[in-house]
Chain A
């Protein structure tokens, strides 16, 4: 009976996930021009695609960019999300309103969000930052080219993280709400202040939640694509390129140029590298952040 119920899911898993993963992994060892080229035309290339990628400056730059997104962006998002989560589970008024407001960027299309940030926040002639600094009399600061060289990556990162806070905040809130009130009440009676209650009660209970958030953040970072496209919409820039953007370009050809060289084998190799990163991050997180030793 179990088999009957499991079979449809198993078939879906094999067709939708396992087969493409295996095919992509095999393809990454071959020279393949188009994703739909018949297997008979593939030429064995060994580790050539991987070697080529790591000798390509823009791919190395893309890897550096996602490392920065993961580390700097991740730290920022987790700290802010946790701060909001703790604040909103502390019995303050208007919790539902603030929770909705903070989560709102998640339900707005990334395209709309990106356009909003580029045109209405960062624009050096009429953007929000320009207007705020100009009104404060900070003329030089108001003329800052937020999407110019040196600042483009950080501007993109802030815009991206702004939209991600709400998602991780909800995960933190769900976990905090499961912590038995007895602990905090007892600590409160014993004289523990808010910071002590947070560090010695709330935080230890959130270990499993942290693990979930880190894994999810890793998955999102590895799949980073749309924001790179928005901040460099026509062709790749060093400041905004992520491995997925580069993969898209070499698999389907450049967006603007009439240069149409494609390399689906190298694109598959990027996919495999990204998959390995996610698996490694998952394993490392499991190793470092141990399971909760407290039953909730």
Chain B
């Protein structure tokens, strides 16, 4: 409005002149502004082209490990190398086992978490609703899988288990597998003249007798694993289904419970099980008896060599499946094995990068490194097994029946506590077989 008034007062010519001048001024101002902007903005974009292409996304990983654990150390190292190779940063938040408390509230609160991990059952069941389906990712190949797909590169047994736990579909990526087997000291077996590992109960009893004769206590257990010990025995005596029924119904009237009492009451009298087992507070048995070389066997997981490597760095480890005990029970083809698992948050904004890191950790160099440093079991088909757990590979390969953890004996705290108390008394002789049976049914 104001300009129109001015133009009209100067007539046509001055109006044109004014327009020319105004355009010139505008051009000049634009050029100056562009120059100033480019000067001001130049530091922001210095090297911008290359940076923009290499600085990719950040994956936030809430880990179940502590920073000082072998697994934590390897994961941190792998994340550094992964960043160098791919440009993808992995921000690891080491929660330790506290993740069982912290993860879900954090996910509910919308915290940026792309990857989390824990036991295969816990991730699938407790945190199942937060999981991104992974079947499509598993069909693709990755730099560390070569021309094969991810599915074809890692343990089929573990992927099948993951699908089973995930309701028929793959929603987690297993790693750090374990098998629950008899971990034994080969040197003590050799000293006792035992040349083959027992597969039947008669062979097991014979091995125990030889060990005792050589002045070696055959087997021990800590309070933490008593329920698993009981569960394994019952499954070998009564079968898997019946054992699970007993565990879940807290009903131990089956004759196999009495048979268990008879066997272990007798074994305790013969010195086949350490008396200290009755008072071992975890990890006393595995450190003071197994690592110290006083006891030969422990029904435990393949993680045992890692847990006590500080106390027994040179222990000559072997592994065999808990022997068959009777015609009605399971045989050495039935075992419990499992794994820790990575899951990707369904709300993750970087799922591709997250899975890329998961593949990086579960195949190739870093899968082997993880197994080597934690004396554990690798996930990749081509990865090397540490010698401490090598014999467990055969057990996993020959397992046709998967048994749940502790064969269900830790499902109910009531049952677990009852087993611990009564089995301890059975070992000490303050309960005989009948007393044990009665106490289990009280």
Q: How far is the CB of A257 from chain B (nearest CB, A)?
A: 4
Beyond A239-B421, A257-B411, is A234–B276 a contact (Cβ under 8 Å)? no
Query: With A and B bound together, what is the CA distance between A250 and B126 in angstroms?
Result: 13
Assign chain B's interface to a size class: 35 or more
Is there a chain B Cβ closer than 8 Å to A7's Cβ?
Answer: no
Q: How far is the CB of B217 from chain A (nearest CB, A)?
A: 13
Query: With A and B bound together, what is the CA distance between A207 and B223 in angstroms?
Result: 44
The proximity string for B residues 377-418 relative to A, scoring 1 for CB distances below 8 Å and 0 otherwise, is 000000000000000000000000000111010111110111
Beyond A148-B279, A148-B424, A237-B417, is A260–B224 a contact (Cβ under 8 Å)? no
Interface of A is mostly: loop
Closest to A261 in B: B411
Assign chain A's interface to a size class: 35 or more
Which B residues are in CB contact (< 8 Å) with A61?
A: 417
Which A residues are in CB contact (< 8 Å) with B413?
A: 58, 235-236, 246, 249-250, 254
The proximity string for A residues 50-73 relative to B, scoring 1 for CB distances below 8 Å and 0 otherwise, is 000000111001000000000000
Closest to B278 in A: A148
Query: With A and B bound together, what is the CA distance between A262 and B101 in angstroms?
Result: 11
The proximity string for B residues 219-251 relative to A, scoring 1 for CB distances below 8 Å and 0 otherwise, is 000011001000000000000000000000000
* Contact call B417/A258, Cβ cutoff below 8 A: no
* Contact call B414/A58, Cβ cutoff below 8 A: yes
Is there a chain B Cβ closer than 8 Å to A232's Cβ?
Answer: yes
| Best-buried of A56, A236, A246, A258 by chain B (most CB within 10 Å) | A258
Is there a chain A Cβ closer than 8 Å to B321's Cβ?
Answer: no
Which A residues are in CB contact (< 8 Å) with B284?
A: 118-119, 123
Tell me which of B120, B412, B418, B430 contacts A258 (CB under 8 A).
B120
* Contact call B430/A236, Cβ cutoff below 8 A: no
Query: With A and B bound together, what is the CA distance between A291 and B70 in angstroms?
Result: 59
Tell me which of A146, A231, A252 contacts B100 (CB under 8 A).
A252
Which B residues are in CB contact (< 8 Å) with A232?
A: 223, 281
Which A residues are in CB contact (< 8 Å) with B227?
A: 235
A sample of 11 cross-chain residue pairs with beta-carbon separation below 8 angstroms, ordered by A number, consists of A35-B105, A58-B413, A123-B288, A148-B428, A231-B281, A235-B420, A238-B417, A238-B418, A253-B100, A256-B410, A257-B416
Given contacts A233-B282, A238-B418, A260-B122, 16 further A-B contacts (CB under 8 A): A57-B414, A58-B413, A58-B417, A118-B281, A118-B284, A148-B278, A148-B424, A149-B279, A149-B430, A232-B223, A232-B281, A235-B223, A253-B100, A256-B224, A256-B410, A261-B411
